[in-house]
Amino acid sequence: MLFEVKSVKEAVNIIEENINITDKGFEEVDLFEAAGRVVYSEVQAGEDVPAFNRSTVDGYAVIAKDTFGASEAVPAILEVIGEVKMGEKTELKINQGQAVRIYTGGMLPVNSDAVVMLEYAHPLDDKTLLIEKPVAPFENVIKKGEDMAAGEVLFRKGHTLRTQDVGALAALGITRVKVFKKPKIGIISSGDEVKKPDEKVDMGEIRDVNTYTVFSALKALGAAGIPFGIVRDDFDQIKNTLKLALKNCDAVIISGGSSVGARDLTLKAINSLGEPGLIFHGLSVKPGKPTIFAVVKGIPILGLPGHPVSALVIFELIGRPLVNLLMGRDKDYGSYEILAKCDKDLSSAAGREDYIRVRLEKRGDGLWAVPVLGKSGMICTMSKSDGLLKIPSERVGVSKGEMVEVILLK
């Protein structure tokens, strides 16, 4: 299995086949914490929204048929019998030939079924109104239960709550919601050369970037990242740290130690901890070829390349689908692709997917993807990028001006 490279699609399918999704239970969260969480059980509307027929404009509540045929030349003449103020329950009831002043969001009086906008209604005096344009039944009105009806299934199990969904819950008076517990993902960085960000680095040493970028990526997906620190290139230290992470987490992400070489101990440590061990090693992508995926006693382990850019690219392609599956949502959640024109001629190797960092520019003739060139260890190239331009494995490059697929980076 050593460097029997897989395509991204093959790798994601293999991951899906080899992880056992177990129900970790639920927790109730306040609406302020609900966005991005995954619904655990079906949510139904317990009441109608709105609870009454409501005006969508400022104007006059009327019986629609009283306005039929109205025009500037021959206006309909109605009697104004009162006013509905904002936020008040009205007891008013209108009959044929009558109207009531009303404001946006106001409750329609009994018998009224439409609202004439102010610009088409002209008072002659306090009691007489001229209507210069007809309205259809329920025009400028949201009917009772039209937004959400009592008993309606609003969200099904597995739905990821968005900003607008939180608003819908608030409108129903739901202030707490059952969501899947966050999966706990262990994060390990490895390498003798890796130091903590607050430590002084000497020649040949680098600061730990991957712990923080992976943690942030997990947080954005709604998972709980648990850092286990930096491990040296030492078999026992790698094994013991992995063992601790496996004991306390639902999955583990380790960066570094995935390249073929004399000091590559990660695979050996993984395979020493239990079955089935290594599932695949190597992706047909650039950057990120030396990616590994393993399972130990039901716990998935994703091995990212050590270079920060490669690690982030592989997390987007492989890590995000893995985390989504662990969270009970669709594996494609959080992936955003757009089309743009390529700004330069780019070459690639056949049989390998290439992912080029790009920034997006709006020009007169559309959206352009401008390559941000740099080697895989240059994290600032990701900071300057808006997305990843994908060159498919069956291509040997793309031409300037060609429409290309860009995966947006969030």
β-bridge mates for residue 241, sequence order: none
Q: Which range has the worst mean pLDDT, 14-23, 175-184, 337-346?
A: 14-23
pLDDT band with cut points at 50, 70 and 90 for residue 1: very low
Average pLDDT, the chain: 92
DSSP H or E segment with residue 269:
helix 266-271
The count of residues in the chain is: 410
213 touches 312 (CB < 8 A): yes
DSSP annotation of 409: P
Token readout for 346 is: 């780019």
pLDDT band with cut points at 50, 70 and 90 for residue 21: confident
Taking 90 as the threshold, does the pLDDT of residue 377 lie above it?
no
Taking 70 as the threshold, does the pLDDT of residue 263 lie above it?
no
**Torsion sign, CA atoms 69, 75, 78, 84:** positive
Which contacts (CB < 8 Å, 24+ apart) does range 231-236 have?
A: 231/188, 231/189, 231/190, 232/190, 232/191, 232/192, 233/190, 233/191, 233/192, 233/257, 233/263, 233/265, 234/265, 235/265, 235/268, 235/269
Pairing of strands 128-131, 121-123: antiparallel
pLDDT tens digits for 67-111?
Answer: 999 999 999 999 999 999 888 999 999 999 999 999 999 999 999
Pairing of strands 285-286, 292-296: unpaired
Taking 90 as the threshold, does the pLDDT of residue 189 lie above it?
yes
pTM beyond 0.85, yes or no: no
| pLDDT at res. 3 | 57
48 touches 150 (CB < 8 A): yes
329 touches 39 (CB < 8 A): no
236 touches 195 (CB < 8 A): no
Q: Which of 392, 400, 395, 298 is nearest to 345 (CA)?
A: 400
332 touches 221 (CB < 8 A): no
DSSP H or E segment with residue 361:
strand 353-363
Q: Tell me the C-alpha distance between 100 and 91, whole Å.
A: 12
Percentage above 90 pLDDT, the chain: 82
Q: Which range has the worst mean pLDDT, 21-25, 54-58, 234-238, 395-399?
A: 21-25
